[in-house]
A and B are shown apart, each in its own frame.
Chain A
């Protein structure tokens, strides 16, 4: 083999190694950051993994929102079949309110869903309904 050919083979081998390491890193980062999204009904049926960060989607029940002291916010999240109590600490985002659709990122513990820091996601318009809830209403 000529020197040039050895060089070329070496180059390709290094390239393949780098690419596969890179793809592996990307895929691992991807899998670790997948967040599954559930409705209150699915959570109460134990379809959601326990003690793991998930997303919970539903509507904030009318008359359930309590702005407590120390910025502790509590409300009932409903998909019109079942309900889950959610706790969040912090200032609620714009467009969050009773009767509004919301997605909460956090963890279920002892029948209460604890939202993460900045875990209330309501960056949409007023008439938003999470697809999880829309699906349930459609099937009724």
Chain B
């Protein structure tokens, strides 16, 4: 029953998406009433997809193992909350979540922005309809979550234990909201290309969407990093795994888009650049879907390995990218503006920002897909080591960090040099202060540590000096309020850089065999392995160690576990972490050595690692505040 109605809902949404992808565009050219179909169609598609999604969820809640997807991702013992999240725990369901979010975004666009710019928004909805058509078709024909089981199954498989975790419950939805949200600037740009005219005022209604989807993307990536840190048991926060790269590339482009949108909105220039970037951004987010979902990657995220799926998405990307770039080639000349670019203007700083972000994104793309291309052509299997990404990123980000401070203090058209003179003082403080502290405290350092602290202080101080100027020189505080999101986001970036620098340079890790009732010394702390016991969870059995840490401030208990989930044979590490703002202490339990009284342990000390995620969240908060403020401004106007 569920399978039948689920398929029915998919077919209906597929048909509606076909209508949506055609009618408003045809209506635009014929200039008739078909244009106004965009809004009701968008709503109907949302209802159809939501019904399909609710049906699938209810199949999970009722242990409907006659549906193959449910049987392979859930079982009767799975805790209730993970039955909800298991819906997107596998390939098919996560694609359904993808289109659900795309239709949520399109409904929101229709409800909120249609009245501001009816023609462009209806055309945009039509473009989104085309994307929906492609992805719903992909789900229905190659990855149908409602397919029936070939035989009677009484007990399901288990959800990948790595995914049975509260962090994992919210990471994919956030990331997907951000990923999919990039469809809005993309659809907008295609709509602009179809019309052949682009007014800078149009960005006023587009920008809140851009900053909102950027904020979701930021939160999603941050949650993923945090999850990998405590769940994979390695204590790292970023691995340059292809799947991480797949989410990071669209983030870099979205960041570039936010910056170039301010130029287009304020100065009317960079129009074709903005359009090109938004096409690249959405193509990368589709490519991310392809990378993660086609099974070409060796990672925890690659659930599926069916070549027809990869081919389908590849053809879809080719179509979307091909059509939009063709349109771009035909129309881009319309948008060229003949403004001279002064080297020391805000425009050129933002252009430089965009170039660095784009090159960073393309370098990551090179490292991520080159191995796939080589493998696809049968020229051997290679991978690109993490040092490549580290190095490239460092090269590209150092100049960008320098530009941030200058860019914030620059003016449109032409900056007055007196503004930059103030910054010399800031630069001197940013260089001397950390250097002095390092020498006085006699800390280890490398040139990169220094550059890290310099960048941190440079960005933080130049942002705060700017904020102070706006705040105290203008009684009405209009300019200050206007720039508050930017100030918050850049401060968040500075905090993030501080965290990364500390973690990269002052982390400590040891792996040691410790016998029961004995202790070791690590990080000037005493670690006593006091007890070992069995713990029973809802759907797993765990061996739990008790480690008591003693230092000058007292004692802390750690209870790291190794869990064996039912239906799985290998053990999962559940690290025990004591966290505060200035440091994380991390204990993971390994395998027994010599019988059962001696165990392998991993001990880690990570200074200021929380600031990495805190900084990123502050950036996202900047994005959300910007969304709210710009949206409110729009309503008042």
Contacts and interface: CB of A to CB of B under 8 A. Distances in A.
B144 to A, nearest CB: 21
A130 B511 contact: no
Most chain B CB within 10 A, of A26, A35, A94, A121, is at A94
Nearest to B363: A26
A100 B570 contact: yes
B381 A132 contact: yes
Interface SS majority for chain A: mixed
Contacts of A71: 511-513, 590, 593, 600
Interface string A57-95: 100000000011111000000000000000000111111
A16 B241 CA distance: 32
Contacts of A97: 569-570
Given A33-B388, A71-B511, A94-B162, A123 B241 contact: yes
Given A35-B385, A70-B513, A126 B568 contact: yes
A30 B593 contact: no
B366 interface: yes
Contact of A34 (B343, B382, B395, B573): B382
Interface in A90-140: 90-97, 100, 103, 118, 121, 123-126, 128, 130-132
Interface string A29-45: 11011111110000000
A11 B370 CA distance: 33
Q: Which of B569, B601, B602 has the most CB of A within 10 A?
A: B569
Given A36-B382, A118-B234, A125-B300, A91 B588 contact: yes
Given A71-B590, A124-B302, A128-B298, A93 B234 contact: yes
Nearest to B394: A29
A9 interface: no
Among B512, B591, B592, the most chain A Cβ lie within 10 Å of the Cβ of B591
Interface in B361-398: 363, 366-367, 370, 375, 380-388, 391-392, 395
B364 to A, nearest CB: 11
Contacts of B593: 67-71
A120 to B, nearest CB: 11
B172 to A, nearest CB: 16
A95 B382 contact: no
A49 to B, nearest CB: 12
A26 B392 contact: yes
Contacts of A32: 387-388
A126 B564 CA distance: 13
Nearest to A73: B591
B303 A35 contact: no
A89 B364 CA distance: 31
Contacts of A37: 380-383
A125 B233 contact: no
A25 interface: yes
A57 B383 CA distance: 12
B572 to A, nearest CB: 5
B233 A22 contact: no
- Interface size on B, as a range, is 35 or more
A117 to B, nearest CB: 9
Given A22-B359, A92-B590, A97-B570, A30 B388 contact: yes
A25 B572 CA distance: 40
A30 B240 CA distance: 14
A90 to B, nearest CB: 5
Interface string B511-523: 1110000000000
Contacts of B108: none
A33 to B, nearest CB: 4
A57 B569 CA distance: 21
B182 to A, nearest CB: 25
A91 B385 contact: no
Most buried by A among B234, B370, B592: B234
B557 interface: no
B555 interface: no
Nearest to B359: A22
Nearest to B233: A94
A94 B600 contact: no
Nearest to B355: A19
A121 B380 CA distance: 19
A68 B624 CA distance: 53
A92 B562 CA distance: 12
Contacts of A96: 570
Contact of B395 (A22, A121, A125): A22
Nearest to A30: B388
Nearest to A70: B513
Nearest to A118: B234
Interface string B35-70: 000000000000000000000000000000000000
A28 to B, nearest CB: 9
B343 A11 contact: yes
A123 B384 contact: no
Interface core residue of B234, B367, B385 (most chain A CB under 10 Å) = B385
A55 to B, nearest CB: 6
A69 to B, nearest CB: 6
B466 to A, nearest CB: 27
B594 to A, nearest CB: 6
A91 B600 contact: yes
Nearest to A47: B380
B299 interface: yes
Nearest to B239: A123
A29 B300 CA distance: 27
Interface string B234-266: 100000010000000000000000000000000
Nearest to B601: A91
Contact of A123 (B300, B370, B590): B300
A125 B208 CA distance: 39
B385 A33 contact: yes
A61 to B, nearest CB: 16
A29 B388 contact: yes
29 contacts: A11-B343, A25-B395, A29-B388, A30-B367, A32-B387, A32-B388, A34-B383, A35-B384, A36-B382, A37-B382, A67-B591, A70-B513, A71-B512, A71-B593, A90-B511, A91-B601, A92-B590, A92-B591, A94-B233, A94-B572, A95-B162, A96-B570, A97-B569, A97-B570, A100-B570, A126-B568, A130-B298, A131-B298, A131-B375
Given A22-B359, A95-B162, 15 more contacts: A11-B343, A26-B392, A29-B388, A29-B391, A30-B388, A35-B384, A37-B382, A55-B381, A67-B600, A68-B593, A70-B513, A71-B513, A91-B590, A123-B232, A124-B299
3 smallest beta-carbon distances between A and B, as pairs = A91-B590, A33-B388, A37-B381
